[in-house]
Amino acid sequence: MLNQTHAPELTSWVTSANTTDTDFPIQNLPFAAFRRSGTNEAFRGGVAIGDQILDLAAAAKSGVYTDLAQQALEACSGEDLNPFMDMGKQAWSSLRLALSETLREGATAQTALQSCLVAQADAEYKLPCQIRDYTDFYTSVHHATAVGKLFRPDNPLLPNYKWVPIGYHGRASSIDVSGQNFRRPCGQTKAPDATEPSFGPCKRLDYEVEMGIYVGNGNELGEPISIENAEDHVFGMCLFNDWSARDIQAWEYQPLGPFLAKNFASTVSPWIVTTEALAPFRAAFERDAADPQPMEYLTSDANSANGQFDISLDCLIKTEGSAEENHLSTSNFKYSYWTVAQMVTHHTINGCNLQSGDLLGSGTQSGPEHEEAGSLLELTRGGKEAITLANGETRTFVQDGDTIIMRGFCQRDGARRIGFGEVASTVLPAKS
């Protein structure tokens, strides 16, 4: 629901929040865990405003806030946001409103809060919360079809895809925040013309443009979350690069699915944009009439009316030999075949219990056009068609020293543009 915090005319006394190109106007107010770079300070919660961070631990001591908003600030003062996420939707909304009111142009709280600001240029980040568990979904029908055509030209989509929100259980321990450097994974691969597999560094390393969905307050074991209530349990979203070793994956994934090809590294952006901040950028969920319609437990009027999120997603590459960023693709989260609410509901329909900080990956987000592909596997048609970068280098898959950068933003008439910042990570050579 839209409320006063979304009003496009709102401006902030933090003047950098009022520029048209900022990701973090007062209408956004995303959360992260940060500290000043190069210090031994404790990490604590922060909210982005323009090019600054409002230190929530300092704000909790400012004397400006009261009641539920003050309790929420105190829950944000530790190194992980899980206690705040556990408080639920009322507390999240109460703190958002209080922050909006006190950061607005003309707010009397400016004097007290000015000293609570830290420049983003002076900050470093950690994961915003303890990611207690991680599930990766497969929600882009365009990605699933494109990849399926590479391996099953006559039958690209398996029969269950349009009935079930497909997902698998991933590895939370190897997820890190933007800036992550990781070594190229090693494992077993099998060349098409080989009689036996071989062991060595992955040769077909790939990125995946995804959205990450953070669970807020969870559910009790055995108590499913209905689709009508699903988004009450979603704290917010981030950008997510779920790295993949395609050649390792091709050899190992049958019959049980992804394993070593997917658990060596995944990278999230530092900032969690709350579901409430995304309210102006909702879109209708529509299913082609020729496709199976979602089962009753995956259907609601609210989900049909505005279950999708219109989030533009850009992917870029910066190679070791050049400081230039090369654009690879642009897609949008609104193309997802399944909504956030459907993912949460399906995940819990068997009684599975979610916890605060659990992360759901959306799966690679590709659009209907080839140039909207969210992975190199698709862009290069399985490595058969190299792409040429602006500096003359070519790529079929990610090479050592490459940095993959993803950015996302929401924009529409009648609303302030808001962004997610960026997620960037760099591939190092395999360990010898």
431: number of Cβ within 10 Å: 9
Q: Which helix (H) or strand (E) holds 34?
A: strand 31-36
> How far apart, in whole angstroms, are the C-alpha atoms of residue 15 and residue 119?
13
For 429, list phi and psi in degrees, rounded to 5: -60, 155
Q: Which of 143, 233, 346, 347 is catalytic?
A: 143
Residue with tokens 């321990």: 173
Query: In Å, what is the CA distance from 49 to each residue of 11, 30, 121?
Result: 11, 8, 13
| Structure tokens belonging to residue 407 | 């950015």
Catalytic status, residue 370: no
- Per residue, the 3-state secondary structure of 117-146, as one string, reads EEEHHHEEEECCCCCCCEEEECCCHHHHHH
Q: Which helix (H) or strand (E) holds 423?
A: strand 418-428
Q: What's 352's DSSP letter?
A: P
> How far apart, in whole angstroms, are the C-alpha atoms of residue 90 and residue 95?
9
Report the sign of the C-alpha dihedral through residues 57, 60, 64, 65, in that order. Answer: positive
| Structure tokens belonging to residue 132 | 């207690």
Q: Which amino acid is at 246?
A: R
Q: Is 205 helix (H, G, I), strand (E, B) or coil?
A: strand
Q: By C-alpha distance, which of 421, 376, 346, 369 is closest to 128?
A: 421
Q: By C-alpha distance, which of 354, 312, 309 is closest to 334?
A: 309
> How far apart, in whole angstroms, are the C-alpha atoms of residue 379 and residue 371?
7
Q: By C-alpha distance, which of 197, 199, 167 is closest to 185?
A: 199
Contacts of 38 (CB under 8 A, 6+ apart): 124
Q: Which helix (H) or strand (E) holds 199?
A: strand 198-201
Catalytic residues: 143
